[in-house]
Amino acid sequence: MQAYIALGSNLDSPFEQVQGAVNDIAIDERINLLRCSNWYQSKAIGPGEQADYINGVVCVNTTMTPLELLDYLQTIEQQHGRVRKERWGARTLDLDILLYDDLTCDDDRLTIPHPRMNERAFVMTPLNDIAPTLKLPCGESVSNVSQQLTQSGLQFYALGQPS
């Protein structure tokens, strides 16, 4: 199954956090890392004053179920010192499953497709780097949705590459 995973960090050397997470994702034998977007710096969305985020997206093939993948990603977040204090608070690492093949899922632990991805340039711009023609559940391509979003507060940070 093909999955798209968003990565973000705004604490403790954010670029190193997301780069390390890409490596950690690819370590598992049930995952084949296919593509990694460029990295972008974005303004934080959330409570209080927060440092800017570094964001990107990876595409993987996996034999994991969506919940197994979620558990694996949450383990990686914990290994990177993620503490869940407040919604949209600062974090060392945030890993979100955006899409998992054509699957839709809406339960207490996981919603696929990610419910707010189409509204966020910091998700859609890196997704556009690696899958511009991908059709989203809304029927539009990633490229079309990305172009409709304001890029205000989003800056290119570094070239992405599978490690």
pLDDT tens-place string over residues 115-154: 999 999 999 999 999 999 999 999 999 999 999 998 888 9
d(CA 102, CA 51): 34
pLDDT at position 53: 94
* DSSP structure class, residue 102: T
Active site annotation includes 120: no
Q: 146 with 125: CB under 8 angstroms? A: yes
Q: What are the backbone angles phi and psi of residue 155, rounded to the nearest 5°?
A: -130, 140
The catalytic residue among 30, 96, 106, 107 is 96
Domain ranges of the chain: 2-158
pLDDT for 46? 72
> Among 91, 102, 106, 108, which one carries the catalytic annotation?
91
Give me the pLDDT at residue 84, please.
66
**Beta strands 94-100 and 2-9, pairing class:** antiparallel
Active-site entry in 28, 82, 84, 101: 82
- Report the length, in residues, of the chain: 163
Q: pLDDT at position 57, please?
A: 98
- CA 18 from chain center: how many Å? 10
pLDDT at 87: 59
Check if 91 is active-site. yes
Amino acid 163: pLDDT: 45
Nearest to 3 by CA among 80, 57, 40: 57
Least confident among 32-41, 73-82, 94-103: 73-82
**pLDDT, position 47:** 65
Please give the pLDDT value at position 152.
80
14 Cβ neighbours under 8 A, 6+ residues apart: 51, 52, 53, 54
CB neighbourhood size of 105 (10 A): 14
The domain at 2-158 falls in which architecture? 2-Layer Sandwich (3.30)
Q: Is the pLDDT of residue 88 over 60?
A: no
Give φ, ψ of 98 to 5 degrees.
-85, -50
pTM of the shown model: 0.93
101 annotated active-site? no
What is the per-residue pLDDT across 145-163, written as a single tens digit (0 to 9) for each? 999 998 888 999 988 765 4
Residue among 24, 28, 94, 129 flagged as catalytic: 94
Active site residue 82: yes
